[in-house]
Amino acid sequence: MIETPRIMLIRHAEKPREGEYGVAIDGSPSPQSLSVVGWQRAGALVRLFVPLPLPSRSPILRPSHVFAAHPTETHPSPRPRETVTPLAQALGLQVDESWSDDDDPARIAAALRDLKGPALVCWRHRSLPVLAEELLQRAEVPRHWPEARFDLVWIVSGDGPRWTFSQLPQQLLPGDRAQSVPRRVPAAGVRR
């Protein structure tokens, strides 16, 4: 069976609200880490990406690769890695932090498109639309990942030379929304 290439994009899980501290993986207070709710989402992602053995027609595939934007001077938070660490552990994979959102999105997209097997990429929300557009090679993704949304999966699937874009609300935690983010409508006749 030939598997369609699939790259699943998520934003890191919830960060602390104004005036709160996050919690590092060892339980110590950390302003750069996930909030308690963020750690709950990180744990819930395991069942989204590694479902119990039930028949499923979900566009989500069990990842063969797990990537997270690595911390930089501009973005020192380890939240992307923290978000996917429970999932990577459940899969027996290492979190690959080869890139950051400071790196060239075209180069990252090219490397992701060449992978064998499904990939999960956990990134920072401001850079996700640019990365998704580079993967898709068309301006059809939403222009912005909303500041308050931690509950979406953007899916870029390859079928020959044409790649498609879809969204799936995670619906893992109370308060998660069932709606996707409005997509950009491409201008007639404009192709990248």
Can you give the pTM of this predicted structure? 0.91
**Is 158 a member of any domain?**
yes
Q: What is the pLDDT of residues 115-139, one digit of tens each?
A: 999 999 999 999 999 999 999 988 8
Q: Tell me the sheet residues that pair with 68.
A: 122
Give 58's pLDDT tier (boundaries 50, 70, 90): confident
**Is 40 a member of any domain?**
yes
Q: What is the pLDDT of residues 161-173, one digit of tens each?
A: 789 999 999 999 9
User: For residues 115 and 74, what is the distance between their CA atoms, to the nearest angstrom?
Assistant: 28
Burial bucket for residue 172 (CB in 10 Å: 0-12, 13-18, 19+): middle
**Is 182 a member of any domain?**
no
**Is 157 a member of any domain?**
yes
**Is 192 a member of any domain?**
no
Boundaries of domain holding 119: 6-169
CATH code for the domain of 121? 3.40.50.1240
**Is 86 a member of any domain?**
yes
**Cα 123–Cα 36–Cα 132 angle in degrees, nearest 5:** 15
Q: Which letter, b or e, does each residue of 20-41 get, where b requires 16 or more Cβ atoms within 10 Å of its Cβ?
A: eebbeeeeeebebbbbebbbbb
Classified as helix, coil or strand, 23 is strand
Above pLDDT 90, what percent of the chain?
77
Q: How many domains does the chain have?
A: 1
Q: What is the mean pLDDT of residues 141-149?
A: 94
Q: Tell me the sheet residues that pair with 169.
A: 152
CB atoms within 10 A of CB 123: 26
Residue 56: the pLDDT is 65
**Is 175 a member of any domain?**
no
**Is 189 a member of any domain?**
no
Identify the H or E element spanning 129. Answer: helix 128-136
Q: Which two tokens stand for residue 125?
A: 């929300």
